[in-house]
Amino acid sequence: MTGLFSHGLQNPPSWMVFPTRPVWIYQLTQGLHVTAGIAAIPLLLAKLWSVYPELLAWPPVKSLVHGAERASIALFVGSSLLQLTTGLINTYKWYPWPFPFRETHYWLAWVIWGSLLLHIAVKLPVIAGHWRRNSPRRFDASEQAAAVGGTADAERPADAVATGPGRWSRRALLTAVAAATGAVVVTTAGQSFSWLAPANLFAPRKMGTGPQGVPVNRTAADAKVIELAKSPGWALKVRSGESSRSFTLGELRALPQHTHELPIACVEGWSQMASWRGVRVVDLLAAVGAPADSPLRFISLEPEGAYRTMNMPAEYSRDEQTLVALELNGSVLDLDHGYPARIIAPGRPGVLQTKWLHSVEVL
């Protein structure tokens, strides 16, 4: 659900509702998304370790049903490993592959769900047989084995089934998995949740770092906007139909200023609350005679890039906490945070909080 929410914010379907409260809603959902993904890594590895002898069993296919079961497992395991591996690498902003990460990540999630549902469908006779039995006796292992063409694991002692290669007891294995999962969560989730920040040892981003105490993903040098952003001739253009105005930086600073505590929340998982000060978007819309609930398009000074142009639904534009921010944490925006002006809105992914603003258009 957290992945679907993030995907919907960037590729909004017509029916989607965009919640702007609580202001940290995206910070929470994306933090949970990345934290759950990291926690799933030791769980998946432990499961593979416990069942790998079955994966090497010969012959690989004993019946049609057994073949369908193994195919669903192969698809589930392969897509899950690829999903978690590329997802973890993405948190470090490293993209060594030729395919687009976001689209691949989205569709792989559906492949995982499909393979899981296929596996459940294949195992459904076994599941139904288990729940239909009338006596408290254990499910007949020979029935289970016959249903999938596999071995009669249920006839083995409980510890042998649970521990796979037989080197660990079930309790020891579960304890080790729980400890490993807890360790990776505690030492990485602090990039999203401030109460775990002191234990954040291994996440790629740390709160309180970067210019003005806030991390930066894309610098002005990366975006090739240094000269344009520092130009004394910079002005923000606001257009609504035939009506338009240009605001110099001095004119923007002369307008009523508002301060709000809003998080900057990155799709890679890190986030941080900060104090933003600037001009309300609704005030700029009023200056050109546009309704407060107008859908908008923001264009950056960036000469290129997937997020150079960003559309904003009316839910955000009419929100009085949506700002054209000029200051961060009590001082003028740093160049890497979007100087001379940037967008900050409640409940939005960081990639949609356009930096180095060039113009605003009413759609």
Residues in the chain: 363
- In 3D space, the residue among 202, 211, 182, 227 whose CA is nearest the CA of residue 336 turns out to be 211
CA-atom Rg of the chain in angstroms: 26
pTM: 0.84
pLDDT per residue of the chain (363 residues) written in tens, 0 to 9: 899 999 999 988 888 889 999 999 999 999 999 999 999 999 999 888 888 887 788 888 888 888 888 888 889 999 999 999 999 999 988 888 899 999 999 999 999 999 999 989 988 888 888 888 765 555 454 555 554 444 444 444 444 444 445 567 888 888 999 999 999 999 999 999 999 999 999 999 999 999 999 999 999 999 999 999 999 999 999 999 999 999 999 999 999 999 999 999 998 889 999 999 999 999 999 999 999 999 999 999 999 988 999 999 999 999 999 999 999 999 999 999 999 999 999 999 999 999 999 999 999
